[in-house]
Amino acid sequence: MKLAIAAIVKDEIDSLAEWIAFHRVIGADYFLIADNGSTDGTREYLESLSGGDWLQTISVATPPDRAPQLVAYRELTALCPEDVDLIAFIDADEYILPVPAAGEETFDPRARMHRWLEARFGDGEVGAIALNWCCFGSSGHRFRKEGLVIERFQQRARQGFGPNHHYKSIVRRTALDRMQNPHHPGLTAGTMLNAKGKPFEYRLSREGVLRRGLSEEIVWDEVRLNHYLVKSVEEFVLKKARRGSAATVGYTKTAVYFERHDKNDEPCGMAAALAPRVHDELRRLETIVELDRRLAGVEAPAEPRKDRPFFQRKRAEPSSPVRRLVVDYPQEDGLARIEGGQTLVQGWLFLTDEFADFNPDARLIARWSPEFELRQSLSKKRADVVAHFGYENPEDHPQLQCGFQFFLPLGINHCELELELGHQRWPLQTLKIRTEAQAPQESEKVLIGKNDWLFLRADTNLSLEQHRGNLLLTPAGLQSWRAYFHALEAIARTHEAECRVLVTPSKETVLEEAYGTPRASRTAIDQILQLASGTTLYPVDVLKALGDESFYRTDTHWTHKAAMKTSVELAVSLGIDRKALEKRFEKDRYREVSHKGDLGGKLEPPVLQPVEILKSFSNQRLKVYDNAIPNFGRLAIFDNDDPLDDGVLLLCGASSSAGLFNYLSRIFARVIFVHTAGNLDVTLIEEFKPDFLIMQTTARFAIRPPTTDFSFETSLRQKIASLDSEALQKIEKKRVVADAATANPPWERWENLYQRYATERHAQQHRHGGDAP
């Protein structure tokens, strides 16, 4: 789900950058900010950031007869993009804090925040969530000191402190009528919950009147709202007391307000623990602002926080910061160099002197598909290039690391290069690539990790670059995923089927230490999960809990035990009792076998490792149909007379789905598997009339959005047409077609199609005296 932060600000230049950086760190995707007549450079600062696609700023004057806050909220809500799901209405001294679990020293705040949002708003009947204040005092500071707000103030009031009954709201955009006051939303639909997901209860006045803006219970579980409402004495007197209130006309905060709210009863460093991430994000924001200043011809004042604006603007036409780009490989004639089963792209990029200090922030963008792009830094030292431009002491020059080197999958014949600085981009060059090899050697597809763990490499999805966060979805790719989710929901609703999207985590994500490369905080799968609703299941925590038992050492696929755990979580999400599920599988027994898998078999000699597979049950017992087509085109059906649920489950998945057969077939009365890699053919729903629709894909395919406009019949025909006679003979030996208990078995249509296309293929081969092309 996509989260926006909406706020009204006035003269907040001292801490606004930190506030924005903090909320980007915890998972805010979009900012809607109204400036209320700032004179300290706040407005200009926001303008420098608003050139990207994540922040929109407007000016709101103070009306003569009312406070500006609700006016600003109405205007900001009207401007909110349609792809934003949720809006948090807070102030610039309020920080949304996802709370770590007890004893948890480090965690990913963005992932934690979005999991919480999905859990709370996954139910479409929820319109808003209330976040209670957690009020912080001055920590005894009389004067403003260096450091972040979250670092300087780590003393808070006790939970029962009266003002902590206040709350602010995160609201489902489509359910919002208007904010009735700065704290409380008016909803057109849906209910309001507290942060724990329980029904929200108002605090009542002595007369029993609902007090909108105050909750009966103060909830600090999971997510809370840190409120730095006084800060130091100096900051209170010079800022908050002078600024007045955006919510109440004529209200001024005096010394009485400070004394009443300056509570420092308990230490709390939860927000401060995020300071390193916030500092990193601040540096990125500073790059955007400084670049905007230089491109705009802005004069930077020596003392920005006095009585003059932060920027004195003199706009000029922005010029390219590129002095020269040289691509060593592929060469000018397009001839490529192949290394490790991939196409090498290598060269250097030198910026003009004015932008030389931006070298660490420069990113080279490579795009060969509209739906994703590869981002690479300038990371190779090229003292020869620095010397070429006549600079003495190349080792000390800010552009010493001006070289780049990255790899593209084999088969890519063109690639667009761009330079990105801040949120500005400049086109560089179109690479035309010629290679003789169209696929890497088998052994080149294997990466040997720690303790003999094998991982995929040199694949067309660039798994390693996805893991590093370098290969990300573009706006076009995200829009394709968004359209997919929306279409699925509509189709499932029309056909009265409960729908889930199951994303199998990549092996390198679960076994990051064995992989040997740290995972980026933001990857393509993270982009997708932010778009997804509560109907999406990504069991990464379940698999991590299994550790070494989650994946086969010599295979990209998960183990039987991992598939069992995932099957349980999937069934629970569909309303089936967890205890009943665990009881059904508690007597399962496993045996150890040697397994070379889809990775170990690529090495010479093949590598085998012991694995545990289920021995006490085989899904073959329940299989009534299987056309045995490998991968795309496969259709298999399992019937169970003793299920936990009488429903029919349609599973549109990929190779990882095979691990689920042993478990899903014992849960549901009928399981139908169709290999579509998460794509949907609506005729399958019309044909099988499932109660449950499961779309399964794998995280490494995140860069390739699936579609709801898929044709399984076409896939089946094309697959059979590509098979040689030996492959067809193998299929015939594996096929399962049970004796039909009825005149029209559920597989009849698809079996007829198989026989038709297989007959056509055999005839074609016979006419050509062997395998036809």
Can you give the pLDDT at residue 111?
85
Instruction: Quote the CA–CA distance of 60 and 42 in Å, as a whole number.
Output: 13
Is residue 677 located within the same domain as residue 589? Answer: yes
Can you give the pLDDT at residue 305?
39
Chain centre to alpha carbon of residue 182: 30
Asked whether residue 578 carries a pLDDT value surpassing 70, the answer given is: yes
Is residue 469 located within the same domain as residue 436? Answer: no
Nearest alpha carbon to residue 634 among 645, 648, 621, 623: 623
Contacts for 563 with CB less than 8 Å, ≥ 6 apart: 659, 660, 662, 663
Is residue 470 located within the same domain as residue 413? Answer: no
Residue range 104-149, pLDDT digits in tens: 666 789 988 988 998 899 888 999 999 999 999 999 999 888 899 9
Contacts for 170 with CB less than 8 Å, ≥ 6 apart: 3, 86, 87, 88, 117, 128, 129, 131
Can you give the pLDDT at residue 767?
81
Of 288 and 378, more confident? 378
Can you give the pLDDT at residue 769?
67
Residue 482 host element (H or E):
helix 475-494
Residue range 244-272, pLDDT digits in tens: 554 554 556 778 889 899 999 999 999 99
Helix (H, G, I), strand (E, B) or coil at 237: helix
Which residue type is seen at 699?
Answer: A
Asked whether residue 29 carries a pLDDT value surpassing 80, the answer given is: yes
Nearest alpha carbon to residue 326 among 310, 308, 347, 312: 347
Examine the fold and report which residue of 440, 455, 489 is the final residue of a domain before the chain moves on: 440
Instruction: Tell me if 636 is assigned to some domain.
Output: yes
Place of tokens 């908050």: 240
Give me the sign of the Cα torsion angle 280, 285, 289, 294: positive
- pLDDT bracket for residue 428 (50, 70, 90): very high
Asked whether residue 27 carries a pLDDT value surpassing 60, the answer given is: yes
Which residue type is seen at 454?
Answer: L
Place of tokens 């905080």: 521
Instruction: Tell me if 159 is assigned to some domain.
Output: no
Which residue type is seen at 700?
Answer: R
List phi, psi (to 5°) of 68: -85, -10
As given in the structure block, the two tokens for residue 563 are: 């598939």
Q: What is the pLDDT averaged over residues 403-422?
A: 94
Of 314 and 467, more confident? 467
Is residue 471 located within the same domain as residue 433? Answer: no
Among 56-70, 327-341, 521-535, 677-691, the range with the most confident prediction by mean pLDDT is 677-691
Can you give the pLDDT at residue 553?
96
Is residue 46 located within the same domain as residue 85? Answer: yes
Residue 551 is given by DSSP the state B
Instruction: Quote the CA–CA distance of 626 and 638 in Å, as a whole number.
Output: 9
List phi, psi (to 5°) of 218: -95, 110
Q: ω into residue 605 within 30 of 0, thus cis? A: yes
Helix axes 42-49, 16-25, angle to 10 degrees: 30
Is residue 184 located within the same domain as residue 102? Answer: yes
As given in the structure block, the two tokens for residue 13 are: 């230049």
Residue range 535-574, pLDDT digits in tens: 899 999 999 999 999 999 999 999 999 999 999 999 999 9
Instruction: Tell me if 145 is assigned to some domain.
Output: no
Residue 238 is given by DSSP the state I
Is residue 620 located within the same domain as residue 739? Answer: yes
- pLDDT bracket for residue 386 (50, 70, 90): very high
Helix (H, G, I), strand (E, B) or coil at 683: helix
Asked whether residue 412 carries a pLDDT value surpassing 80, the answer given is: yes
- pLDDT bracket for residue 701 (50, 70, 90): very high
Instruction: Tell me if 154 is assigned to some domain.
Output: no
Nearest alpha carbon to residue 91 among 151, 15, 153, 175: 15
Examine the fold and report which residue of 243, 263, 288 is the final residue of a domain before the chain moves on: 288
- DSSP state string for 129-167: EEEEEEEB--TT-SS--SS-HHHH--EE--TT-GGGGBE
Contacts for 348 with CB less than 8 Å, ≥ 6 apart: 325, 326, 328, 378, 380, 382, 385, 402, 403, 404
Of 478 and 237, more confident? 478
Instruction: Tell me if 158 is assigned to some domain.
Output: no
Helix (H, G, I), strand (E, B) or coil at 335: strand
Instruction: Tell me if 682 is assigned to some domain.
Output: yes
Is residue 492 located within the same domain as residue 398? Answer: no
Asked whether residue 770 carries a pLDDT value surpassing 80, the answer given is: no
Is residue 428 located within the same domain as residue 518? Answer: no
65: how many CB neighbours lie within 10 A of its CB? Answer: 6
Mean pLDDT is lowest, of 106-110, 123-127, 238-242, 426-430, for 238-242
Instruction: Quote the CA–CA distance of 170 and 643 in Å, as a whole number.
Output: 41
Range of the domain at 389: 322-440
- pLDDT bracket for residue 309 (50, 70, 90): very low
Asked whether residue 349 carries a pLDDT value surpassing 80, the answer given is: yes
Q: What is the pLDDT averaged over residues 57-61?
A: 93
Can you give the pLDDT at residue 304?
41
Asked whether residue 661 carries a pLDDT value surpassing 90, the answer given is: yes
As given in the structure block, the two tokens for residue 602 are: 């690529």
Instruction: Tell me if 454 is assigned to some domain.
Output: no
- Domain CATH code at residue 200: 3.90.550
Can you give the pLDDT at residue 772?
54
Q: Are 202 and 165 in contact (CB under 8 A)?
A: no
- Domain CATH code at residue 400: 2.60.40.10
Which residue type is seen at 274?
Answer: L
Can you give the pLDDT at residue 103?
67
As given in the structure block, the two tokens for residue 408 are: 């593209």
Is residue 502 located within the same domain as residue 623? Answer: yes
Asked whether residue 211 carries a pLDDT value surpassing 90, the answer given is: no
Which residue type is seen at 584?
Answer: R
- pLDDT bracket for residue 707 (50, 70, 90): very high
Instruction: Tell me if 83 is assigned to some domain.
Output: yes
Asked whether residue 313 carries a pLDDT value surpassing 70, the answer given is: no
Q: What is the pLDDT averaged over residues 621-638?
A: 96
Long-range contacts of 122-127 (CB under 8 A, 24+ apart): 122/533, 122/534, 122/535, 123/534, 124/190, 125/190, 125/191, 126/172, 126/190, 126/191, 126/192, 126/193, 127/171, 127/172, 127/175, 127/176, 127/185, 127/187, 127/188, 127/189, 127/190, 127/191, 127/192
Q: Are 1 and 531 in contact (CB under 8 A)?
A: yes
Is residue 394 located within the same domain as residue 475? Answer: no
Can you give the pLDDT at residue 243?
57
Number of domains the chain contains? 3
Residue range 499-513, pLDDT digits in tens: 999 999 999 999 999
Is residue 756 located within the same domain as residue 712? Answer: yes
Residue range 712-735, pLDDT digits in tens: 999 999 999 999 999 999 999 999
- pLDDT bracket for residue 42 (50, 70, 90): very high
Q: Are 52 and 423 in contact (CB under 8 A)?
A: yes
Can you give the pLDDT at residue 314?
38
* Strand residue runs (E) in 352-463: 363-369, 372-377, 403-409, 414-421, 424-432, 446-448, 454-456
Mean pLDDT is lowest, of 88-92, 242-246, 485-489, 497-501, for 242-246
